[in-house]
Chains A and B, each alone.
Chain A
Amino acid sequence: MATEAIVTGGKRRLRGSPRNPYQGRKRPWLHTQRRWNLTGWTFLIPAAALIALMSFVPMIQALFLSFQTGRGSRLTWADPFWLNFERMMGDEIFKLTVFNTFFYLIIQVPIMLVLAMILANLLNDPKLKFKAFWRTVIFLPCAVSLVSYSLVFRTLFATDGFVNDTFMALGLMDQPVNWLGGGWTARFVIIIGLLWRWTGYNMIFFLAALQNVDYSTLEAARVDGASSLKTFWFVTVPQLRPMIVLTAIMSINGTLQLFDESWSLTNGGPAYQSMSMSHYLYELSFLKNPNVGYGAAISYVILIMVAVLAFIQMKVGDKRD
């Protein structure tokens, strides 16, 4: 960023400020400079203030809340003050929801990003026919709301639903599987749903990044006799690295906050076996007999997980060969 600043005569000049709009006349240098700077701030302040008020202030309030205890709106400071965090250590349901969320993360995100990259690479082929058609169809799931698609998948995977009917007609199964009634099968359905909903979304980002891949490097690899698979892996993928980091961070962040699918597709069931952390947090803080202090403590653990994973991602992505 600093490299973009143009330095003139020891003074740092604002981008976009005129070289000398007052040619021949005396120019009110400092005056206009300061005015433009102020204009810039007034442009930036509404957005910055809203983010401060809607993200940072609540984040700090949540930290204070996480050291408080009590039901409803009657809160007192916890004694000892780490009470909520101690309770979390022994909370088997919380541990199960952490396991579920990380299970979705570890299985789904890599498969999705690889699929998205392959699809983007195929769509980027200049000789591909019906390009707009493929792109539209593959992106279309992203236009559907999470609750909507969850309910469609719930219908498809119902015990007497389409998936069981098809598998049985094909002779792959003898009797219907109760997909949403078993822990592992319910998790599997959520992963299939996530892949369906988000692969096209990430593909769009890779497709945009591929526009910046130097075409001559691909030509050079082809001339050198590299197969298309090798070209993809050794030439295209390294150039996509910044985008891989961005999509990975977005996906990790999204998966750690998974709520809608857990709520509408499996309702967390059976017996919390497919429930996500956010779903548990919602149940704790807003349903039945809310315990917002404990909820805030859990929300802080989610925050720290997101921050740590994002940090690792950025470190890995920063590494140069």
Chain B
Amino acid sequence: MTSATSSTRTRGRFSWRRVPGYAFLSLFALFSIFPLFFMVVSATNTTKDVLASRLLPGTHLVENFMSLFGAQDVGAAMLSSALIAIGTTVLALAVCSVAGYGFEVYHSRGKDIVMAIIMLAMMIPFAAVMIPLFRLFADVGMVNSLFAVIIPAISTPLLILLFRQASRSFPHEIIEAARIDGLRELSIFIRIYAPTMKSTFAAAAVITFMTSWNNFLWPRVILLDNAVQTMPMLIANLTAGYVTDYGVLMLAVLLTSLPTIIVFLVLQRAFAQGITGAIK
């Protein structure tokens, strides 16, 4: 009996040593999934059933829909959120990818200094800039403007860092070859770098879309008119009344969560690859 055959035999067999690992994973997975399950199930139940801890799908989904859309302008909030999240993602990807690439490919000492300063910005808590930012946007008359939400979120140190790290693994011989072929610098970036760095772009898109869709504090500060409120603002207001309808609340929470969950599930594989590629 060789060791190879014995090891293949043990692989398929049940082993007590694996039990704690699987048990721990199962427990944590249950902890992770339960509130989401509760959210989905409760969206189909009446508030009475939610508080009675009913964990089965109910028949109240349509009624909850009616009362939510009757009481709140969900369509407008969805539109605001979508415009902000998509606008931020597109602009952030364009600005930060070019910056990370430009830093790594046209590396020089001056750029090192600029980069170090940019990285310092990662330490600045948003709370510390919130008041002057509000005054700045108020001065130029951009209170209630969606651009006031988008602009501060475009350039982030984390994304620049992500693209810089990813650019390190990009073979510079390709850039040289493209130059000899007469391609201009920006075309090299758009036609050669961007298509090969899809997973980095996907990871950056997932991060930016989620952060921007879920952002609450800054939109709350700068969007004072309910006509332009975002989904997180809308659901936070649902609990402001005297009586909370938990079925309706859970439906609204579900609607708010669906876009980010879908984006994550669709881009999941590329997201994991992009993060791993950036850390290597």
Binding site for B on A (CB under 8 A): 1-2, 4-5, 12, 14-19, 21, 36-37, 39-44, 46-48, 50-51, 54-59, 61-62, 65, 115, 118-119, 122-123, 125, 127-128, 134-149, 151-156, 158, 160-162, 165-166, 196, 199-200, 204-205, 207-209, 211-212, 228, 243, 253, 256-257, 259-260, 263-264, 277-278, 281-282, 285-286, 292, 295-296, 299-300, 302-303, 306-307, 310
Binding site for A on B (CB under 8 A): 11, 17-18, 21, 24-25, 28-29, 31-33, 35-36, 38-39, 42, 50-53, 95-96, 98-99, 101-112, 114, 117-118, 121-136, 151-152, 154-155, 157, 160, 172, 175-176, 179-180, 185, 189, 210, 213-214, 216-217, 220-221, 231-232, 235-236, 238-239, 246, 249-250, 253, 256-257, 260-261, 263-265, 268, 272, 275-276, 278-280
Residues of A within 8 A of B216 (CB): 145-147, 259-260, 263
Residues of A within 8 A of B124 (CB): 55-56, 59, 303, 306
A-B contacts, 28 of them at CB < 8 A, read: A2-B112, A18-B180, A36-B106, A40-B106, A40-B107, A41-B102, A43-B106, A47-B118, A48-B99, A48-B155, A54-B155, A62-B131, A65-B132, A135-B272, A141-B35, A142-B264, A148-B235, A155-B42, A162-B53, A196-B35, A204-B272, A207-B276, A211-B279, A211-B280, A257-B126, A285-B131, A302-B127, A307-B123
Residues of A within 8 A of B103 (CB): 40, 43-44
CB atoms of B279 and A125 under 8 A apart: no
B279 to chain A, nearest CB (A): 4
Residues of B within 8 A of A125 (CB): 21
A135 to B29, CA, bound (A): 9
B175 to chain A, nearest CB (A): 5
A212 to B279, CA, bound (A): 9
Closest 5 CB pairs of A and B: A40-B106, A43-B102, A145-B214, A47-B99, A50-B155
Please give me the residue from chain A that is nearest to B277 by CB atom: A208
Residues of B within 8 A of A286 (CB): 134, 221
CB atoms of A145 and B260 under 8 A apart: yes
Q: Which of A196, A257, A260 contacts B127 (CB 8 A)?
A: A257
- Residue from A47, A119, A155 whose CB has the most chain B CB atoms within 10 Å: A47
A282 to B217, CA, bound (A): 9
A166 to B34, CA, bound (A): 13
A208 to B280, CA, bound (A): 8
